[in-house]
Amino acid sequence: MDMPSDGPKCSMNMLFTWDTTNLCIVFRQWRVSSTLTLILSLLGVILLTAGYEFVREMSRRYETSSAEYVNKLPRKNVGDAEKRQKMVKAVLYAVQVFYSFFIMLLFMTYNGWVMLSVAVGAFVGYLAFGDSSSTKSVACH
């Protein structure tokens, strides 16, 4: 006897595929059910991935400006400023790690369209925000 269904289920692929039937992206609620939702989802993935480059750029800018600020301080005030600077840098690092693992989860849908969108988002993000560093990391964090 079949159990009653609560509606469409998410498909979970462990192999590369281009199929978007019942594709859920990270969350059960982020489900692709039509061509329009696929296009909107792919644009969302592109924006999310480009946003990661924005966060990285803001972290680099903070690091540069805070180092300049600390260098201008009298020696007696440097200790407190460095502690605050380290705390902010730790928060920014944690945000980057969380963000990068979220992008990894996007990639791990094993869907070719989502994977391409991650790459396009990285490309767009680098063009828009990758001004201050010539070295780029493709690691999860």
74-103 pLDDT tens trace: 777 777 778 888 999 999 999 999 999 999
> For a pLDDT cut of 90, what percent of the chain falls above it?
61
Per the document, the length of the chain is 141
pLDDT at 30 over 80: yes
pLDDT at 49 over 70: yes
